[in-house]
C-alpha cells in the first residue's frame, strides 16, 4: 500500500466525484446484481425454467399474486435451496471484498486480505474443533446430524474463533496504547501458525470427518440455508452500514497516521473500530461459508484500478462487485462437473488469471508500482 499511498499523495484523491455519479454507478451495479440473482437462482443441477423461477421469486419475495402453476418440488428447490445459497454468496462475497478494502488501508499492505491477521486461522481452528470434538466427546455431539436453532456448533465455533483470534492478536500487538502495523502483521502470523498446527493435528485425528474439515477449509456454499443466513446477515449488515459510514475516515487514514491525526482523526481508536467491524463481517462470512480466498484480496485492487481510491464509492462498489463475483464463482462451482466443487477452488482458479490479465493491461497499476 505504501506505493499506493505515495501515488495518492502525488495525485490528490478524486473527492470531487459528484454524488450523482456515485448514485448512478451504484444503482446500475445494484440492478445488475438483482438480475444476476434471478439468473443464478434459475440455474442448477435440477431443471426449473426461468419463467417458473421468476414467478416463484415474485410470489415469495414480492408477494405478487401469481397463480401457482409449478410443481411443489420446484418451489422447494428455488426457495429453500438455491435462493439462500445465492443470497449467502452475495453476502459473503460482498463482506469479504469490503473487509479486504478496509484491511488494505489499515495494514498499508497490498497483500492484506480479510484473513491476514488471524481470522482465517482462528475460524478454521474453531470449525475443525467443532467438527472433531463431538467425535471425541459424544456429549458435544450437538452438530452431529442435528443442531441448535439450525445453526451448528461448527458455525458458532468458527465465528467465535475468527473474532476471538483477531482480538487476541490485537491485544498482544498493542504496546503503550499503540498498534504498529508491522507488529500486528507479525503477531497475526505467529498466532496463525500455532492455530494452523492445531488444525493439522485435528485433521490427523479426525478420521472420516477429515472430509468435512477439508471441505470447510476450501470454502463452500453447499451448506447455505435460511438459518445460517439469519445468523450471519444481521451481524454483517450492521458491520456494512457502520463501515460505509466511515468512508471519509478511511480516505484520511490513507494519507498516513500523522496526516490523519492532524486532520482530526483519533487514529488508534479508529483503527481498532475498523478492525473490529471488518473482522465481525469476515468472521460471520467465514462461519457460514468456510475460508473462501481471493475475493477479499483482489476485488479491492480491481476496483481501485477501475474507479480510483475514494472510499465513498470504493466501499459500496466493493460490496456489490464482491457479491456479484462470488455468485458467478458459485454458479461455476455448482455447474462444473464433479458434484459441487468447493467455491474457494473456483474463485482462485478463474479469478486469479483474470486478475493477472487486468494487471498486465492496466496503466494505472504501473503508475502505482513505479511511484
Establish if 212 lies at the interface with another protein (CB under 8 A): yes
Q: Applying CB under 8 A, which of residues 27, 49, 150, 353 lies at the interface with another protein? A: 150
* 62 lies in the site for another protein, by CB under 8 A: no
Which ranges of the chain does DSSP label H, i.e. alpha helix? Answer: 2-10, 19-42, 50-62, 72-76, 83-106, 119-136, 153-173, 181-204, 210-218, 226-244, 247-253, 257-262, 267-289, 295-307, 311-335, 343-361, 363-370
Q: Residue 150 CB, nearest distance to another protein (Å)? A: 6
Beta bridge partners, 178, equal 175
Query: How open is the CA angle 295-184-196, to the nearest 5 degrees?
Result: 65
Q: Does 2 bind another protein (CB under 8 A)?
A: no
Residue 47 vs 266, nearer CB to another protein: 47
Nearer to another protein, 19 or 149 (CB): 149
Helix, strand, or coil here: 178?
strand
Q: How far is the CB of 238 from another protein (least distance, A)?
A: 21
Binding letters toward another protein, positions 117-146, x by CB under 8 A: --------------x---xx-xx-xxxxxx
> Binding to another protein by residue 369, rule CB under 8 A?
no
User: Which residue from 32, 80, 245, 366 is in contact with another protein, where contact means CB under 8 A?
Assistant: 80
H helices present in 150-225, as ranges: 153-173, 181-204, 210-218
Q: Does 222 bind another protein (CB under 8 A)?
A: yes
CA angle, 3 then 4 then 8, to 5° = 120
Greatest distance between any 2 Cα atoms in the chain: 67
Q: Using CB under 8 A as the criterion, which residues of the chain lie in contact with another protein when the complex forms? A: 44-47, 73, 76-77, 80-82, 131, 135-136, 138-139, 141-150, 152, 154, 204-205, 207-209, 211-212, 215, 220, 222-223, 225-227, 338-342
Amino acid at each position: 500500500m505504501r506505493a499506493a499511498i505515495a501515488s495518492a499523495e502525488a495525485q490528490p484523491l478524486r473527492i470531487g466525484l459528484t454524488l450523482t455519479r456515485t448514485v448512478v454507478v451504484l444503482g446500475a451495479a445494484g440492478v445488475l446484481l438483482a438480475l444476476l440473482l434471478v439468473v443464478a437462482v434459475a440455474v442448477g443441477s435440477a431443471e426449473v425454467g426461468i419463467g417458473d423461477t421468476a414467478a416463484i421469486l415474485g410470489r415469495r419475495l414480492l408477494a405478487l399474486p401469481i397463480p401457482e402453476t409449478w410443481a411443489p418440488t420446484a418451489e422447494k428447490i428455488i426457495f429453500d435451496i438455491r435462493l439462500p445459497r445465492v443470497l449467502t454468496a452475495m453476502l459473503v462475497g460482498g463482506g469479504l471484498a469490503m473487509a479486504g478494502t478496509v484491511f488494505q488501508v489499515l495494514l498499508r499492505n497490498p497483500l492484506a486480505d480479510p484473513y491476514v491477521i488471524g481470522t482465517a486461522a482462528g475460524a478454521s481452528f474453531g470449525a475443525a474443533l467443532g467438527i472433531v470434538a463431538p467425535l471425541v466427546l459424544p456429549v458435544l455431539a450437538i452438530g452431529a446430524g442435528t443442531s441448535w436453532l439450525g445453526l451448528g456448533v461448527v458455525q458458532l465455533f468458527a465465528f467465535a474463533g475468527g473474532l476471538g483470534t483477531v482480538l487476541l492478536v490485537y491485544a498482544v500487538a498493542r504496546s503503550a496504547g499503540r498498534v504498529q502495523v508491522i507488529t500486528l502483521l507479525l503477531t497475526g502470523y505467529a498466532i496463525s501458525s500455532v492455530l494452523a498446527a492445531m488444525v493439522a493435528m485435528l485433521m490427523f485425528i479426525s478420521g472420516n470427518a477429515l472430509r468435512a474439515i477439508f471441505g470447510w477449509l476450501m470454502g463452500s456454499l453447499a451448506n447455505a440455508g435460511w438459518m445460517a443466513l439469519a445468523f450471519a446477515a444481521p451481524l454483517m449488515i450492521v458491520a456494512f452500514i457502520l463501515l460505509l459510514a466511515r468512508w471519509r475516515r478511511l480516505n484520511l487514514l490513507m494519507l498516513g497516521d500523522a496526516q490523519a491525526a492532524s486532520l482530526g482523526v483519533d487514529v488508534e481508536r479508529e483503527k481498532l473500530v475498523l478492525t473490529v467491524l471488518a473482522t465481525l463481517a469476515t468472521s460471520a462470512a467465514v462461519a457460514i461459508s468456510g475460508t473462501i480466498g481471493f475475493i477479499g484480496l483482489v476485488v479491492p485492487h480491481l476496483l481501485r484500478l477501475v474507479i480510483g481510491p475514494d472510499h465513498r464509492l470504493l466501499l459500496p462498489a466493493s460490496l456489490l462487485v464482491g457479491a456479484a463475483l462470488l455468485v458467478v464463482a458459485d454458479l461455476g462451482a455448482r455447474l462444473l462437473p464433479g458434484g459441487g466443487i468447493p467455491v474457494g477452488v473456483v474463485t482462485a482458479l478463474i479469478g486469479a488469471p483474470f486478475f493477472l490479465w487486468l494487471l498486465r493491461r492496466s496503466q494505472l497499476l504501473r503508475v502505482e508500482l513505479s511511484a
